[in-house]
Amino acid sequence: MKKIRTLLAFEGRRMLTSKSTLIYVIIYFISYIISVIFFQLYGSDGSVLTEASAQSFPIQHLQAGILFTGTFIAIYVAQITRQERTQSTIKLILLRPVSRLQYYISKILSIAFFSMLLTLIQITVGYLVGMLFFGWHGTLVFGDIVTSGLTGVGITFLSGVAFAFAYFAFGMLMMLLSEFLPRLIDCAAVGIVILLIGQYAEVLPSIRPYVLVHQMLFFHQDIFEMSAVYNLRSAIVILAYCLACSFAGYYVFRHEDLSV
């Protein structure tokens, strides 16, 4: 556990202090400004925003950031897996008495934290931009939910947790795929292809609940609108992706000759 904590602390520090994270914050900020412009020009018909209020701003933008968030997760996963091989820094860790399982678990936890960090960034930047342009007045409107104040903030963060969970599963899928892809940019490209193609699953009602991209788009919304049974099924689907990808990825990694 101590070694997993050490590796996690190291990754966490890197995550928080890296220029990549700053770039992501800036990109989210710009995209939210663009969304405000959309709302000013076209109103709620031409924008993801239905309510001009800082309370609604972050939760209503979570879904719209699928390409951004998915791409950033794909890049991060490639950084902590593929790049460690190409730069041979994996040697520094595995030449110590650190088992491959401990190493892999630390990567899984890092991806989980990164997913939560990205969600937190989106929510924080969302509140910031919402406050700047619309102020705190009004209500949180999200699907059938209309609320305000701390309850609204709680709902936003709960939605964020569900959102992070789905994107964590995507991160696990990318970690499995990164075992087979030679470069970081290949991982990023494959991630984007999955996000673009996965959205076409929406046209097939019978399979879409089982498609990860559908859960990435809607799980954080469905937890408030759909039945408990439906949400349980969705959670199981996401968990199944997490488990299948992590076991398969670990199996490949465990048996891999590391010529680093």
Partner 1 sequence: MQPNKETVLEVSELTKKVDRMILVDHLNFSLEKGDICGFLGENGAGKTTTLRMMTHLIFPTSGDVLIHGHSIRTDTRAALSQVGSIIENPTFYLSMTALQNLRLSARLSDQHVPESRMMEVLQMVNLENAKNQKVKTFSLGMKQRLGFANALLCNPSLIILDEPTNGLDPIGLTELKDMVQGLSAQGITFLISSHMLREIQDICNRVEIIHKGQQIESGYVTDLLNQYKVSNMEDVYFACMGRRLA
Partner 2 sequence: MHAQLKFELQKLKFQSIYRMILLLSLLSSFGILIRSVVAKAPLTSIIVTDGGIFRIIFWFVCGYVICGIFSEDYHDKTMKAVLPLSQSRGIYLGAKVLIATVYCVFAFLIFFLTKDLAGCLLYNDAGVDLISGILFPIVGALSGIFVIVCLAAAVITLTENEAITAGVVFGAIILMMILENISIIASFVPTYWINSFYNSPARTGMLFPVSIILLIAVFLLLLATRVFCKKDLYT
Site for partner 2 in 13-42 (CB under 8 A): 19-20, 23-24, 27, 30-31, 34, 37-38, 41
Binding residues with partner 2: total (CB under 8 A): 30
CB of 81 to partner 1, least distance (A): 15
CA distance between the termini of the chain = 26
d(CA 197, CA 176): 18
Token readout for 108 is: 């899984």
CB of 159 to partner 2, least distance (A): 22
Contact call for residue 98 and partner 1 (CB under 8 A): yes
Closest listed residue to residue 115, CA positions, set 15, 5, 244? 15
124 binds, among partner 1, partner 2, none (CB under 5 to 8 A by kind): none
92 binds, among partner 1, partner 2, none (CB under 5 to 8 A by kind): partner 1
Give the CA-trace dihedral at 87, 187, 3, 245, to 10 degrees: -150
CB of 252 to partner 1, least distance (A): 13
Q: Which of 10, 42, 136, 180 binds partner 1 (CB under 8 A)?
A: 10
Q: Which stretch binds partner 1 (CB under 8 A): 33-41, 72-80, 95-103, 202-210?
A: 95-103
- Partners of residue 146 on adjacent β-strands: 141
CB-nearer residue toward partner 2: 190 or 212? 190
- 8 A C-beta contact, residue 24 and residue 118: yes
239 binds, among partner 1, partner 2, none (CB under 5 to 8 A by kind): none
Q: Which stretch binds partner 1 (CB under 8 A): 39-47, 58-66, 97-105, 147-155?
A: 97-105
142 CB-side CA count, 13 A: 30
d(CA 231, CA 225): 9
CB of 175 to partner 1, least distance (A): 20
CB-nearer residue toward partner 2: 204 or 239? 204
* Torsions phi, psi for 137 (to 5 deg): -60, 165
Helical (H) or strand (E) element with 145: strand 145-147
252 binds, among partner 1, partner 2, none (CB under 5 to 8 A by kind): none
- 8 A C-beta contact, residue 158 and residue 222: no
Contact call for residue 216 and partner 2 (CB under 8 A): no
